[in-house]
Amino acid sequence: GKGGYDHYMLKEIHSQPDALTDTLSGRVNPGDGGVAFESLPDGAFADVEQVRLVACGTSYHASLAGARLLRQAGIPAHAELASEFSLPESADDTLAVAVTQSGETADTLGAVRAAADAGAQTLAVTNVVGSTAARECDDALFIRAGPEIGVAATKTFTSQVATLSLLSRRIAADVGADAPGDAGILDGLDALPGDVRDVTTGDAARAIANRYRGSDAYFFIGRGAAHSVALEGALKFKEITYEHAEGFAAGELKHGPLALVTPDTPVFAIFTGDGDEQTLTNVEEVQSRGAPVVAVAPDGHPAVDVADDHLPIPDTVPTCASLLAAVQLQLLSYHAAELLDRAIDKPRNLAKSVTVQ
């Protein structure tokens, strides 16, 4: 059942501390920070020279974060939309990672099958044990988020990114890469369930949703670790509110989208400690066109003084801060959709798992 919540989506947003605890449990050696996955033998990735993550929708946004972490750890990696995936005829130096909550998304299965045909090693990162992706790939890594009923992916997004954070460390160790990666990520992940609880027990998102209801459009911007969350914030918002929402790389605004910005288009600017000064410049650009800005940032961050409103997140490393911002934006979308009386758990035209290409 919904456990006392009005919607599965709200229940699932609030279950993220527990889901993340399960995702991470027993996978990090507290002594040396090494990562072990129950289903994967040691050295499983020793021959990998590059990683291609294939996914759709929210799982694609998680993949963008995963690819970024892999590159920071010194591994060539890219996230690609499964429906646009293509690769060279021979890909035997490649690990293709299908990131799919359901494990049944036809586009993602098609991409990972093509990768296998080209000789790539394949890995499913999925929530569903026994799913097609888990069965067909060489290996499977489970995100352990628990069943997700709401059509809008919430807890599976944060658990996917947490899993991919560990996977990037594991691949780096297997191939002997020695780049430092996202410093402090293990401490950040350790604190993440509690930090998420701080966000889900707050009430800022509801007030902001109410303040900006009836706007012409809603824009979300971020760079670095915040970029994928800007895209995800917009996808969640359009999906369940049916309002026009777009996510942009903060630096791209001035290359076109700025033409859309007016006093009736609130801009949610995400600050994760990763290129924040430049994003502040982008905030000033939209404010000078009259747009109200909501800073998604820790208390005391310089953006809070500049912005018109604030959605607070705990102060932590960029990847974890981006997940905390994602949770605030899930709550924002939820409350905006609730004010509009939308069918939150089953938005029009959408299905939980998309089994046609």
Of the listed pieces 95-103, 176-184, 192-200, 313-321, which binds ligand F6R according to CB under 6 A?
95-103
Which of 277, 269, 273 lies closest to 249, judged by CA? 269
Does residue 101 belong to the site contacting ligand F6R (CB under 6 A)?
A: yes
The count of residues interacting with ligand F6R (CB under 6 A) is 15
Does residue 131 belong to the site contacting ligand F6R (CB under 6 A)?
A: no
**Residue with smallest beta-carbon separation from ligand F6R:** 57
Q: Which CB atom, from 152 or from 166, has the smaller least distance to ligand F6R?
A: 152
Site of tokens 């801060």? 321
Does residue 102 belong to the site contacting ligand F6R (CB under 6 A)?
A: yes
- Asked if 346 is an active-site residue, the reply is no
Interacting positions 145-174 with ligand F6R (CB under 6 A): 152-153
Mask: binding to ligand F6R, 222-251, rule CB under 6 A, as x and -?
Answer: -------------x---x------------
Of the listed pieces 34-42, 55-63, 169-177, 270-278, which binds ligand F6R according to CB under 6 A?
55-63
Question: Which amino acid would we find at residue 147?
Answer: P
Please report, for residues 74, 163, 232, the alpha-carbon distance to residue 178 in angstroms, rounded to integers and kept in the order given.
Answer: 7, 20, 31
Of the listed pieces 51-59, 187-195, 286-294, 322-330, which binds ligand F6R according to CB under 6 A?
51-59
Determine which helix (DSSP H) or strand (DSSP E) holds 64, and give its type and residue range: helix 57-72
Residues belonging to the chain: 357
Determine which helix (DSSP H) or strand (DSSP E) holds 146, and give its type and residue range: none
State the catalytic residue, choosing from 11, 254, 346, 352.
352
Does residue 100 belong to the site contacting ligand F6R (CB under 6 A)?
A: yes
Distance between CA atoms of residues 281 and 313, nearest Å:
21
Does residue 105 belong to the site contacting ligand F6R (CB under 6 A)?
A: yes
Which of 182, 225, 208, 244 lies closest to 325, judged by CA? 225
For helices 155-175 and 318-339, give the axis angle rounded to 10 degrees: 160
Among 57, 193, 247, 318, binds ligand F6R (CB under 6 A): 57
Determine which helix (DSSP H) or strand (DSSP E) holds 305, and give its type and residue range: helix 302-306
Q: Which CB atom, from 20 or from 56, has the smaller least distance to ligand F6R?
A: 56
Of the listed pieces 99-107, 113-121, 208-216, 276-284, which binds ligand F6R according to CB under 6 A?
99-107
Residue 282 phi, psi (nearest 5): -65, -35
CB of residue 326 to ligand F6R, shortest distance in Å: 11
- Cα diameter, the chain: 55
Does residue 132 belong to the site contacting ligand F6R (CB under 6 A)?
A: no
Give the bridge partners for 245, in sequence order.
218
Question: Which amino acid would we find at residue 349?
Answer: N
Handedness of CA 96, 102, 104, 107 (dihedral sign): negative
Does residue 354 belong to the site contacting ligand F6R (CB under 6 A)?
A: yes
Where on the chain is the footprint of ligand F6R (CB under 6 A)? 56-59, 100-102, 105, 108, 152-153, 235, 239, 353-354
Active site residues: 352
